[in-house]
């Protein structure tokens, strides 16, 4: 892209013109106006270009850390993901018919303009995440309508399972986490894992994370446990729990299970995180 003269050279050039032809104020003003126009037009576009690039980087980072399965993307996003996930999981999208071969699509403004409303019948209405102008959406090969019905059944199952967990005397939670469990806002894989762990441990749930804007539609996929058997979790005290979770079959295998210390926590926590998107039907199968 041509930007014309650098601003410093423009100022020096304008000063030289003023000294050489002090009487030609109109001509000098015209020259300066043209110089400003040459620089101002592309400069106004730079923040937009930078913002779009940052959105793509942030979206690619989110996908690399959170998503399992095949990722459909346009060329710039696929290029960013190429060094972060297995090449076999990348699906560069050139036509709308390829979308159904993906599990998740990173819908940039360019991709949205290319496909238009054609994505709506085969993707979930609620995005898994929104990064600036980019939406990360789940592909629904069965059709958006059928998926919505399956999601509704799953919400009821999650709500029932969450309330059953809250009735377990070996499990307690903060008021917010209690509401989330009772409201069916927690991923089924977490509910199953908590039920299994509570069979032999006393647990206190600090919070749930990584949900969508509407966690009933995109449930929370991370749980933070601040107390195990009445004590702060440590690598040694929860090593058995970690081994148990890491030994699970792929459907219930977390992408993260470790000890962490969040900046807003007073002690260490056990964090368990599952991939996006959340499966439906896990509690009824």
Angle between helices 239-246 and 188-198 (to 10 degrees): 130
Angle at alpha carbon of residue 245, lines to 242 and 246, rounded to 5°: 85
Mean pLDDT confidence for 215-234: 95
Q: What is the CB neighbour count within 10 angstroms for residue 222? A: 20
The pLDDT of residue 284: 80
- Confidence band of 206 (pLDDT split at 50, 70, 90): very high
Mean pLDDT confidence for 229-246: 96
The pLDDT of residue 30: 34
> Which one is predicted more confidently, 269 or 45?
269
pLDDT exceeds 50 at position 210: yes
The pLDDT of residue 285: 60
The pLDDT of residue 45: 55
At 16-71, the pLDDT tens digits run: 433 333 333 333 333 344 433 444 445 555 566 689 999 999 999 999 999 999 99
At 245-256, the pLDDT tens digits run: 999 998 899 999
The pLDDT of residue 48: 63
Q: Considering the chain, what is the average pLDDT of its residues?
A: 86
At 66-115, the pLDDT tens digits run: 999 999 999 999 999 998 999 999 999 998 889 999 999 999 999 999 99
CB 74 within 8 A of CB 108: yes
Cis preceding-peptide flag for 153 (omega within 30 of 0)? no
Exposed, middle or buried: residue 154 (CB in 10 Å: 0-12, 13-18, 19+)? buried
Least confident of 68-72, 166-170, 195-199, 210-214: 210-214
The pLDDT of residue 264: 84
The pLDDT of residue 7: 46
The pLDDT of residue 27: 37
pLDDT exceeds 90 at position 214: no
Q: How do 171-173 and 134-138 pair as beta strands?
A: unpaired
The pLDDT of residue 266: 84
- As given in the structure block, the two tokens for residue 212 are 């969508």
The pLDDT of residue 85: 96
Q: Whole-model pTM?
A: 0.80
Mean pLDDT confidence for 119-141: 95
The pLDDT of residue 265: 80
């Amino acid at each position: 892209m041509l930007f014309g003269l650098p601003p410093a050279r423009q100022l020096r050039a304008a000063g030289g013109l003023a000294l050489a032809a002090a009487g030609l104020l109109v001509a000098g003003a015209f020259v300066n106006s043209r110089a400003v126009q040459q620089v101002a037009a592309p400069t106004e576009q730079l923040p937009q270009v930078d913002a779009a690039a940052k959105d793509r980087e942030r979206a690619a980072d989110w996908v690399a850390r959170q998503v399992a399965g095949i990722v459909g993307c346009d060329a710039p996003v696929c290029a960013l993901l190429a060094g972060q996930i297995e090449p076999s999981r990348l699906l560069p999208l050139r036509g709308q018919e390829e979308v159904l071969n993906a599990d998740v699509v990173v819908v940039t403004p360019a991709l949205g303009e290319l496909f238009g409303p054609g994505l709506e019948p085969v993707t979930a209405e609620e995005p898994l995440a929104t990064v600036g102008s980019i939406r990360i959406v789940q592909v629904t090969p069965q059709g958006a309508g059928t998926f919505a019905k399956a999601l509704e059944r799953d919400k009821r199952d999650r709500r029932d399972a969450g309330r059953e967990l809250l009735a377990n005397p070996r499990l307690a939670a903060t008021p917010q986490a209690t509401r989330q469990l009772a409201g069916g806002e927690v991923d089924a894989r977490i509910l199953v894992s908590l039920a299994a762990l509570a069979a032999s441990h006393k647990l206190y749930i600090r919070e749930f994370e990584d949900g969508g804007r509407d966690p009933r539609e995109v449930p929370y996929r991370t749980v933070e446990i601040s107390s195990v058997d009445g004590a702060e979790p440590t690598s040694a005290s929860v090593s058995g729990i970690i081994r148990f979770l890491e030994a699970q079959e792929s459907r219930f295998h977390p992408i993260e299970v470790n000890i962490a210390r969040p900046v807003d926590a007073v002690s260490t926590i056990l964090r368990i995180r599952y991939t996006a998107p959340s499966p439906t039907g896990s509690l009824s199968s």
